[in-house]
Amino acid sequence: MMCFMKNTLILLLPAVGLFAIGAAAQTAPGTLKLTSPAFANSGVIPTKYACDGDKVNPALVFSGVPSSAKSLAFVLDDPDVPKNLVPSGEFVHWIVWDIAPTSRGIPEADPTAATKGLNGTGKPGYYPPCPPDREHRYFFKLYALDKMLGGAKIASKADLLAAMQGHIVGQAELMGRYNKKK
């Protein structure tokens, strides 16, 4: 009897191990996801969406919004800016908040994307990729929040991050690269 059980355990362990590995590799249902039909994650952002193109925002697609989300917030920034131009080395291209959690995304060239704060130029809305020196990375970040930020005083990315603190129930990121045409 002992010999039979020992062999059975040996046969079951690999199967259990494979199941555990397979389960870990799958995306959990309800996991917040951010994509764009304009470019793949880590791909090149088409010129149309940049300063040497049409200067419009790319379409963004949201999925897997947690059921506990009461709103969504969005940040687009570039961490590759030369520090002689911007001491922090980061340029904020777009911040948006109080997006309905039922939203499926932001359409291309959308001037009405919920409440908008100031970009790095001090103006509200989308500022297109426009690297001054080489290829830069642009991080599109989506946050699911357990509340609306409505009454919060938000003008900058720092204000938005402070208002979101303790209220993030999901987060997703999409990175695109861009280098101006020479």
H or E element that contains 62: strand 60-63
Q: What's the confidence (pLDDT) of residue 26?
A: 33
Per residue in 52-80, pLDDT (tens digit) is 999 999 999 999 999 999 999 999 999 99
Per residue in 26-41, pLDDT (tens digit) is 334 569 999 999 999 9
Q: Alpha carbon of 114 to those of 95, 99, 126, 139, 155: distances in Å? A: 10, 5, 12, 19, 14
Per residue in 121-157, pLDDT (tens digit) is 999 999 999 999 999 999 999 999 999 998 889 989 9
Q: The pTM is what?
A: 0.82
